[in-house]
Amino acid sequence: MNNQSWVTLALFSFTYGSCFLTAVENPSLDINLDARPIAAGAQLPVVSYANVLQRATPSVVSVYTASIIEPAQSQIPDFFRQFGIPVPRGFEPATPQPERKEALGVGSGVIVSTDGYIVTNHHVVTGREGAVADEILVRLSDDSEYTARLIGSDRKTDVAVLKLDIDEALPAITLAKSHQLRVGDIVFAIGNPLDVGLTATQGIVSAIGRTSYGILGPGAYENFVQTDASINMGNSGGALVDAWGRLIGINTAIVSRSGGSNGIGFAIPTDLALNVMTKLIESGEVPRGLLGLLPEDLNRDMADAFGLASTRGALVNQVQANSPAARAGIRHGDVITQIDEVEVVSALQMRLVVSQMLPGREVSVVLFRGGHQLKLSVVLGRVDGAMAKSGPAQRLILEGVSIDRMTPSRRQQFSIPEEIEGLVVTDLSLDSPYANVLVPGMVIIEVNGQAMDSLDRLEAVISAGANSFYSWFGGMKRYLAIRIQSR
């Protein structure tokens, strides 16, 4: 995030798509897919895009979310009753109050199939603490309103899928293949900014493959399309369409000093959105492939040291024991340049590519080792599955992190001094959102100022948002700030 205090990130609804993988085409999903790239024609110059927007706008909807607030109940009458004492006058329960609805937010969505599937953002259908909204209302372009059913939601890509169970066919948008986008392509952002009603703004594709902004938080999969088309609060989940009115992304976020649109907006490409959407519809979750290694980008000096002509690729820093990569023979120091037919250009891009492949799939990995090119076959594991071996004492309170109480064997295993007390990080998935701050052998001494003497204590103390961890590792004590997405 560049740690610049003047940068404000406002999340909006916009489907995230990969610029590196072809969209997953699911025959059971009734969608329209146009695989043609935008090309110059022999027609007269276009002076209006009214016909384009007239086709695309009916497919964009407004999304309203609310939570149900239960009335608080007094416990005082029960206190008297449990001791057989009559409830004194004035302590009788008040007239029961009805539950009430509290509005959470306003966003947008896009109809992608005539039978009622709508794609939007995960953050549109959840509250600040990450809990799913109790009620999701969808308003169509003709002002008709329906209650939507949440099919599934994926925080790591900020994609959610809704369903309208109505008899009439809905105006579904046509999807384009977002990996064919080029910088300079004309685009339109359509949504319900600031709840003023459906609005369209024009711009161009400013950049593709934006992966390192950390907008979606730790452990997320980012690969945004950047645009200067104005995106404002409420555009979340709305459509980014090309000059033919085809969906090429879902509006998601901006970088701004003021919180308003300054022409640096981000959208999730349709390729990735369709991949995630298909998995959510089929299984209600997003299974992701796992190699089980920790990669990093190559700089020029490192490429020269390994005898490579280019910095493209991913250098393997660490291979997790008993992981799919380890079983296939991948070693630290290998430089991965291709997975199946996809060229690897960076560590983040490789992680994104693998995440869109299904666990159990056999892939071909091309790599350089000692100046020679090798091709290895790897059967992918499953993200979040590598830690399944954790016993009951090593609960996964933090995603992908095994934590155990302090024992004499743990002290000996990690060379922890007798005076250090707390909980021990015993294992860590390389795909964990916390892999960059926690390591096996680290002792968690305090969390948010509370001493850690049990796993129950840790689970009770941590909360959504930033948490202060006081830790010991390698002979040194230090504070760590760890942000938890939701509880």
Does residue 44 lie within any of the structural domains? no
Q: What is the distance of C-alpha 194 from the center of its chain?
A: 24
Is residue 256 within 8 A of residue 207, CB to CB? The reply is no
Q: What share of the chain in percent tops pLDDT 90?
A: 46
Partnered with residue 176 across adjacent β-strands are: 34
Q: Which of 80-84, 213-217, 329-333, 401-405 has the lowest mean pLDDT?
A: 80-84
Residue among 113, 178, 230, 236 flagged as catalytic: 236
Asked whether the predicted pLDDT for residue 15 surpasses 80, the reply is no
Is the domain of 305 the same as that of 437? Answer: no
Q: Which domain holds residue 325?
A: 289-382
One domain, residues 413 and 332: no
Predicted confidence (pLDDT) per residue in 341-359, tens digit: 999 999 989 999 999 999 9
Please, how many CA atoms are within 13 Å of residue 349, restricted to the half-sphere of its CB? 22
In a domain, 393, yes or no: no
Residue 86 has pLDDT above 80, yes or no: no
pLDDT of residue 322: 85
191: domain CATH number is: 2.40.10.120
Q: How far, rounded to the nearest angstrom, does the alpha carbon of residue 28 sit from its chain's CA centroid?
A: 25
Q: Specify the pLDDT at position 25.
A: 46
Model confidence at 90, in pLDDT bands (50, 70, 90)? low
Quick check: is 93 in a domain? no
Q: How many domains does the chain have?
A: 3
Which of 254, 285, 316 marks a domain boundary?
A: 285
Can you read off the two tokens belonging to residue 157?
């890509």
Q: How confident is the model over 393-405, as a mean pLDDT?
A: 74
Q: What is the structure's pLDDT at 380?
A: 93
Q: Is 195 a catalytic residue?
A: no
Tell me, what's the pLDDT at 1? Answer: 43
Distance CA 27, CA 44 (A): 37
Residues 367, 408: one domain? no
pTM score, two decimals? Answer: 0.72
pLDDT in tens, 25-73: 445 678 888 887 766 555 555 678 998 999 999 999 999 998 877 665 5
Same domain, 1 and 79: yes
Do 21 and 201 meet the contact criterion of CB atoms below 8 Å apart? no
Q: How many residues does this entry show for the chain?
A: 487
Whether 236 is a known active-site residue: answer: yes
Residue 17 lies in a domain: yes
* Same domain, yes or no: 368 and 431: no
* 172 part of a folded domain: yes
Q: In which band, very low, low, confident or very high, does the pLDDT at 129 lie, cut at 50, 70 and 90?
A: low
Residues 79 and 188 in one domain: yes
Tell me if residue 158 is catalytic: yes
Q: Do 261 and 323 belong together in one domain?
A: no
Q: Which of 154, 158, 185, 334 is catalytic?
A: 158
- Active-site pick, 18, 122, 123, 471: 123
Most confident of 84-93, 207-216, 236-245: 236-245
Does any domain span residue 239? yes
Of the candidates 114, 134, 131, the residue with the CA atom closest to the CA atom of residue 122: 131
Backbone angles phi, psi at 241, to 5 degrees: -120, 155
Same domain, 180 and 201: yes
Is 94 part of a structural domain of the chain? no
Amino acid at 85: I
- Say yes or no: 317 and 409 in one domain: no
> Do residues 266 and 314 both lie within one domain?
no
Final residue before a domain boundary, out of 236, 261, 285: 285
Buried b (16+ CB within 10 A) or exposed e, 448-478: eeeebeebeebeeebeeeebebbbbbeeeee
Within-domain flag for 408 = yes
Instruction: State the residue for tokens 């099919």.
Output: 151
Regarding whether 303 and 279 lie in a shared domain, the answer is no
Same domain assignment for residues 335 and 230: no
Q: Find the CATH number of the domain harbouring 461.
A: 2.30.42.10
Please identify, among 285, 320, 344, the residue that sits at the C-terminal boundary of a domain.
285
